[in-house]
Amino acid sequence: MPMHRVQNKYYFLFVIFLLTSCRKDLPLSENPFDAIDYGTSNVIKDSLDANGIVAIHRDILLPKCSTPGCHDGSFEPDFRTVMSSYSTLVYHPIIKNNPDNSFTYRVIPYDTSNSVLQKRLNWNTFANINDRMPQDNIGTGLPQEDLDRITAWIQNGAKDPEGYVSKLPNKQPFASYIWVIEGAENWTDIWLNPINQLSGKDNRVNNSWSEPFIVEENMWLFMIPNIQDDSTAIKDIQGVKLELSYDLEFNTTIHSYIGSYIPPSENGGDQWYFNFQLPHTLPTDTTLFLRVVMNDGDHTDNAYFPASFANEWDKKAASFIIKSMNN
């Protein structure tokens, strides 16, 4: 090998040595997590209340009830999410009842005895044999620990995810129609064998629902207003009366009649009715408007049917006109 190449080689190695020997190590960057004191105590793994709806949904409703083809949104209750579970359970009307029709809601806060969820999870027979949930022919019942947690949730108010207790929905009573037939002084069970149905379309002026139905002078009228309410029993509706007016807006009332109650029976009932004879002083060929007044005892203001905000069509549908028998 030529001498000048050997010299170049050693010169190159000498330069590398100088460069590496002059390097100064830089300080390491500060780690912001080094200052955290993690302590030595046990880490809390779960801060959720075991008897709250969030934990119950996570541990029970979602993995054990929201299974394919069951409460996965295929039908109610819907256990896919916490809120869908809560909203389809608490004060939610039931679909399937027991033979005695003992229940109204799936869950009632503080009341396990009248909560269908409690019964369906614990009773082997609810409406039919083997209809405990999960159904015996589908799976096994929930472990006692799960049942106890759901019981505790209901007993503690069936609180929502924010910890609030829901109040029973309470709307004003309402009626969807007034059924009118020819009445009689002795009206007993007359609605089972109506003499003459008066409020139908064929007995209205121009055969139109938006026109008054036709009655005769001094006729007895029997009316059922089909009153409904979301939280008050029909028999407990207060101040039920029927008012008559010449005025569509009921600025004045010319007659009023106090309602009576028909108790439930195998033939129907559980409704209010009016049975009265038209005063002979009422003029013929004049439209009279009907209005039902009712109160559930929970609201200051009365409810009306037709409602004061109803359209003109609905108000005219609840009207009649007297025709003289001599015409």
d(CA 293, CA 302): 7
Residues 6+ apart with CB under 8 A from 80: 62, 66, 71, 72, 73
Q: Given this model, what pLDDT does residue 24 score? A: 58
Q: Given this model, what pLDDT does residue 257 score? A: 97
d(CA 277, CA 290): 14
Whether pTM exceeds 0.95: no
Q: Given this model, what pLDDT does residue 98 score? A: 80
CA angle 124-104-61, nearest 5°? Answer: 55
Q: Which helix (H) or strand (E) holds 54?
A: helix 53-56
Q: Given this model, what pLDDT does residue 170 score? A: 84
Domain 174-323 is of which CATH architecture? Distorted Sandwich (2.70)
Phi, psi angles (nearest 5°) of residue 214: -105, 135
Q: Given this model, what pLDDT does residue 122 score? A: 83
Low-confidence ranges of the chain (pLDDT < 70): 1-27, 38-46, 124-131, 135-140, 187-189, 191-192, 325-327
Q: Given this model, what pLDDT does residue 69 score? A: 73
Mapping DSSP onto H, E and C, the string for 60-72 reads HHHHHHCCCCCCC
The encoded tokens of residue 12 equal 């190159």
Q: Given this model, what pLDDT does residue 35 score? A: 73
Q: What are the sequence ranges of the domains in the chain?
A: 53-155, 174-323
Q: Given this model, what pLDDT does residue 165 score? A: 93
d(CA 261, CA 235): 7
Q: Which helix (H) or strand (E) holds 21?
A: helix 3-21
295 and 173 Cβ atoms separated by less than 8 Å: yes
Q: Given this model, what pLDDT does residue 120 score? A: 86
